[in-house]
Amino acid sequence: KARTVLLATEKAFAAAAVAKIEAVTSAAGYTLKRLENYKSKAELLAAVADADAMIIRSDKVDQAVLDAASKLKIVVRAGAGYDNVDLKACEGKGVVAMNTPGQNANAVAEMVFGMMITSARNNYDGTSGFELVNRSIAFYGFGAVARAVHKLAHGFGMKSFAYDPYIPADKIKEMGATPVDSVAGLFEHQYVSLHVPLTDETKSSINKALLQKMPKGGTLINTARCEVVHDADMIEVLKTRSDFCYLCDVAPDDKEAKDAMKAAVGDKYGKRLIFTAKKMGAQTLEANDNCGVAAASQIVGFFEKGETRFSLKA
């Protein structure tokens, strides 16, 4: 059956990844329609009208998009976090939503180490820094990205700890990390790395009380979502604890909060505070390819074989 797959990416994939996506869709006899680097919601609403399936990145899929997409059966978020997709609205319209779990985990994990080393070496400013060996890192959430960071941490000779109430403690132990039984327990360790999805439970969950518990040189790493951290509390901790560092791939959307964090650390930018230019954890050739091809393959599997393995629940 002739099907149209809309690739709707406000931030386009690398051209090589798009070619690989198209190879998958055309092998199935589907047409790939591209809406890349679009500037307005109206363009998206127009483009979805004849789409049977949709591949997106951080693009917002809400009720308005679904209402404009009368033929849509499936939307796949090429990536891990799906807080940009209104799952309830999808369910209401009978549209299956999926993500591509694990496909960008290594990309994020390598960047976590890039940020940790930059900070530990004082942003290479000529002064003496410290090594990561024998230091401890604690994971809030122990899914695909956290496990990839853990694997690298093991290679660096670090000790890993993890809090994830959805994974049995024995399984965490089997993977070589020490289970921790509360979020607060994570903050006894020098590095705390956030790898939870943005949910009602995790929103603003990282607050002053937790950050103040961290030992000297306490460092929070955030490659998850900015909303997981309480902005005002972070600003206060950066101001009052001159030893505390925040290494962040997801700077606050709120410009005022972002500027206040920068002002709080003054010239220690790059040591005490890192903000990437935009969310960059998954911005690698490999992750683009992996996520894009997985998304296209999941769409073909869904239509041709009824596969729903990666479908998300509201």
Residues that bind ligand NAD (CB under 6 A): 79-81, 101, 104-105, 108, 140-146, 163-167, 195-199, 201-202, 223-225, 249-250, 279, 281-282
Residues 6+ apart with CB under 8 A from 256: none
For residues 228 and 222, the answer to whether their CB atoms sit within 8 Å is yes
CA distance readout (Å), 9 to 22, 85, 251 = 14, 14, 21
Min CB(161)–ligand NAD separation in Å: 13
Residue closer to ligand NAD, measured from CB, 72 or 105: 105
Burial environment of residue 149 by CB neighbours within 10 A (0 to 12, 13 to 18, 19 or more): buried
Residue closer to ligand NAD, measured from CB, 105 or 296: 105
Min CB(179)–ligand NAD separation in Å: 11
Handedness of CA 35, 37, 38, 41 (dihedral sign): positive
Min CB(71)–ligand NAD separation in Å: 29
Residue closer to ligand NAD, measured from CB, 52 or 249: 249
Instruction: For residue 79, give both structure tokens.
Output: 């990536």
In DSSP terms, 6 is beta-bridged to 33, 54
> What is the helix (H) or strand (E) element at residue 27, kind and residue range?
helix 15-27
Give the up-direction half-sphere exposure of residue 109: CA atoms within 13 A in the CB hemisphere: 23
Min CB(107)–ligand NAD separation in Å: 7
Burial environment of residue 312 by CB neighbours within 10 A (0 to 12, 13 to 18, 19 or more): middle
Residue closer to ligand NAD, measured from CB, 186 or 260: 186
Residue closer to ligand NAD, measured from CB, 17 or 69: 17
- Angle subtended by helix axes 105-120 and 285-305, to nearest 10: 160
Min CB(99)–ligand NAD separation in Å: 8
Long-range contacts of 143-147 (CB under 8 A, 24+ apart): 143/80, 143/101, 143/195, 144/80, 144/101, 144/102, 144/105, 145/80, 145/104, 145/105, 145/108, 145/109, 145/195, 145/223, 145/281, 146/193, 146/195, 147/105, 147/175
Residue closer to ligand NAD, measured from CB, 69 or 210: 210
Residue linked to tokens 């999808």? 90
Residue closer to ligand NAD, measured from CB, 102 or 217: 102
- DSSP state letter for 119: H
Residue closer to ligand NAD, measured from CB, 33 or 151: 151
Q: Cα(311)–Cα(90) distance, rounded to whole angstroms?
A: 11
Q: Cα(268)–Cα(245) distance, rounded to whole angstroms?
A: 10
Residue closer to ligand NAD, measured from CB, 98 or 146: 146
Which residue number is nearest to ligand NAD in terms of Cβ? 143
